């Protein structure tokens, strides 16, 4: 008969074998595995990206084990339909620490774009359970991720930085962020793209002043849309504007979102460009929380009607693209 000690040891052994088998099975579900300890196919994320066949018609899934991967990453336009899956959103971290005023080898400033930790040019890119970071600190513009590809989706990801953290850059790019966390100081969500943020936490850090700085193209029906988001932070009361127009036709809308006490009563700023008040479209629908002071907003901002709300479905915003569908059906 087995003693209690031997029985416990046997159960422990069987459980460990189960975990090993489950981990192996998980890895088989992915095309490539990145692991710093050498247990995967590659030790660096860039090596895995480079190994993806150009213009592949099927999704290539790259599983990234826990670790802090300090790499300046580029997903080229030829690397389409790439999916990154992190082992754990808190502990799978892709980071770099360049910043705009940092000098390159020629003694020239890198600039905002040059500071980017991860450039995403490929279409039909997706990521889940990953932290994307620019770790330069409060040293001015320092981008964590710049996105130019179309039909890009992030699920349960974190974007960490200070000024200019997240750069939805592509003029024709459609991007969807679901259950994500985005933090920063000034203009920490900025750019040209059509981007929807759903059920996200937007965290404003001390020392900043503007959440968004859209530069929507003239004639584009949508810019940044926040659905059921939470605007939180450790910034002082009444210290942040919801947005300011980087370009004259900026569009930013908050729908059914919670606004913390750090949001200013006036809500929006014209970036000292009075003419932009005639061309921007800044709006809210049923904002709630201490920062939701509709009656005190600037006169040129809007409160959406229930009828106008019908225009803010994902299908309409993304012109037919449905995030989460198999990208094979969307690519040509």
- Alpha-carbon distances, residue 138 vs 44, 71, 97, 109, 160 (angstroms): 27, 20, 11, 17, 12
The single residue of 98, 187, 310, 319 carrying the catalytic annotation is: 187
- Alpha-carbon distances, residue 283 vs 92, 211, 222 (angstroms): 36, 14, 12
Q: Does residue 319 carry a catalytic annotation?
A: no
Helix (H, G, I), strand (E, B), or coil: what is residue 18?
helix
The single residue of 98, 124, 150, 164 carrying the catalytic annotation is: 164
Q: Does residue 98 carry a catalytic annotation?
A: no
Q: Residue 286 class from Cβ within 10 Å (0-12 exposed, 13-18 middle, 19+ buried)?
A: middle
Torsion angles phi and psi, residue 24, rounded to 5: -65, -40
What DSSP line would sit under 201-266, residue for residue?
Answer: EEEEPTT--EEEEE-PPTT-S-SEEEES-EEEESSPTT-BEEE--SSTT-EEEEES-EE-TTB-TT
Q: Are 159 and 185 in contact (CB under 8 A)?
A: no
Q: Which helix (H) or strand (E) element contains residue 10?
A: helix 4-28
Q: Are 281 and 248 in contact (CB under 8 A)?
A: no
Neighbours of 303 (CB within 10 A): 13
Cα angle for residues 97, 101, 103 (degrees, 5° grid): 80
Neighbours of 309 (CB within 10 A): 14
Q: Are 280 and 245 in contact (CB under 8 A)?
A: yes
Catalytic residue numbers?
Answer: 164, 187
């Amino acid at each position: 008969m087995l003693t209690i000690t031997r029985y416990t040891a046997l159960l422990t052994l069987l459980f460990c074998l189960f975990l090993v088998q489950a981990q192996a099975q998980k890895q088989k579900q992915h095309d490539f595995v990145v692991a710093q300890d050498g247990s995967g196919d590659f030790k660096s994320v860039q090596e895995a990206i480079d190994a993806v066949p150009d213009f592949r018609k099927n999704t290539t899934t790259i599983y990234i084990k826990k670790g802090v991967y300090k790499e300046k990453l580029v997903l080229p336009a030829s690397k389409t339909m790439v999916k990154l899956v992190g082992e754990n959103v808190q502990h799978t971290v892709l980071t770099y620490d360049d910043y705009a005023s940092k000098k390159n080898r020629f003694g020239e400033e890198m600039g905002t774009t040059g500071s980017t930790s991860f450039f995403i040019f490929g279409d039909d890119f997706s990521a889940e359970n990953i932290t994307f970071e620019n770790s330069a600190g409060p040293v001015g513009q320092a981008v964590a991720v710049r996105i130019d590809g179309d039909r890009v989706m992030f699920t349960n990801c974190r974007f960490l930085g200070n000024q200019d953290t997240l750069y939805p850059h592509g003029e024709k790019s459609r991007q969807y962020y679901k259950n994500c966390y985005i933090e920063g100081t000034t203009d920490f969500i900025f750019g040209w793209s059509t981007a929807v943020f759903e059920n996200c936490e937007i965290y404003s850090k001390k020392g900043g002043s503007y959440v968004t700085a859209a530069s929507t193209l003239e004639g584009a029906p949508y810019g940044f849309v926040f659905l059921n988001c939470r605007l939180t932070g450790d910034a002082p009361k009444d210290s942040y504007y919801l947005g300011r127009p980087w370009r004259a036709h900026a569009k930013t809308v908050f729908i059914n979102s919670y606004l913390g006490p750090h949001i200013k009563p006036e809500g929006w700023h014209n970036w000292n460009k009075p003419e932009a008040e005639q061309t921007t479209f800044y709006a809210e629908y049923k904002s709630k929380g201490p920062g939701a002071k509709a009656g005190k907003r600037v006169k040129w901002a809007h409160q959406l009607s229930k009828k106008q709300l019908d225009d803010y479905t994902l299908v309409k915003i993304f012109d037919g693209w449905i995030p989460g569908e198999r990208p094979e059906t969307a690519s040509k």
